[in-house]
Amino acid sequence: MMNIANLLSLSRLLLAPLILVFFSRKNLFGVIVVWTLAALTDFLDGRMARKLGEISELGKILDPVADKMTLCFSFISLMIWYDLPLWLGAIYITKEIFQLIGGLFFLKTRQKVIPSNYWGKASTFIFFVGLFLYCLNPQIGVVVLSVGLILSLIAFYTYSRKMLRKNEA
């Protein structure tokens, strides 16, 4: 069902490719505008879903996919045009691919979506801060992005454990 929260997530998903466009043109202002809109819609979609009682399975899928696409396009762009260390982007993107495959498998076998947890939400926030800082000061940005990557790997571990436990039940 398409409600206000889901429309906000969908808008974030549709904005994500603009990150590549703006980075390719060295337009950091455009990137920051997209990141700001992404952060705002990410904040609002969850609030709206809870406030209006419109939490949906579609929203549980759209929200994290929109976050992942925004972050993946950002990592790819920074690796191509702004010398972000390849290991950082490669680990993040590889983890996301495995998490997506696992999530799709769980959805197919259990017809359920594992909701995001604290670690995932925290890592997403830290990644956005780290990406912004990377554009201002790459050394500090890499440190913050590394912290985000650690939190993201913890989130992956907790999601994997939860999936395996539910698969056994």
pLDDT in tens, 101-155: 887 887 788 777 777 788 998 999 999 999 999 999 999 999 999 999 999 999 9
CB 160 within 8 A of CB 102: yes
Calpha distance 159→169 (Å, rounded): 16
Extract the tokens encoding 154: 């913890």
- Give me the domain span that covers residue 22: 4-168
Q: What is the CATH number of the domain that holds 149?
A: 1.20.120.1760
Sign of the C-alpha dihedral computed for residues 74, 77, 80 and 83 taken in this order: negative
Mean pLDDT of all residues belonging to the chain: 90
Q: Supply φ then ψ for residue 158, to 5 degrees.
A: -70, -40
160 has pLDDT over 90: no
The C-alpha angle with vertex 143 and arms to 137 and 145, in degrees rounded to 5, equals 95
How many structural domains does the chain have?
1
pLDDT tens per residue across span 48-58 = 888 988 888 88
Q: Is 124 exposed, middle or buried (0-12, 13-18, 19+ CB in 10 A)?
A: buried
Give the global pTM. 0.90
Residue 161: per-residue pLDDT: 85
Per mean pLDDT, which range of 20-24, 133-137, 159-163 is the poorest? Answer: 159-163
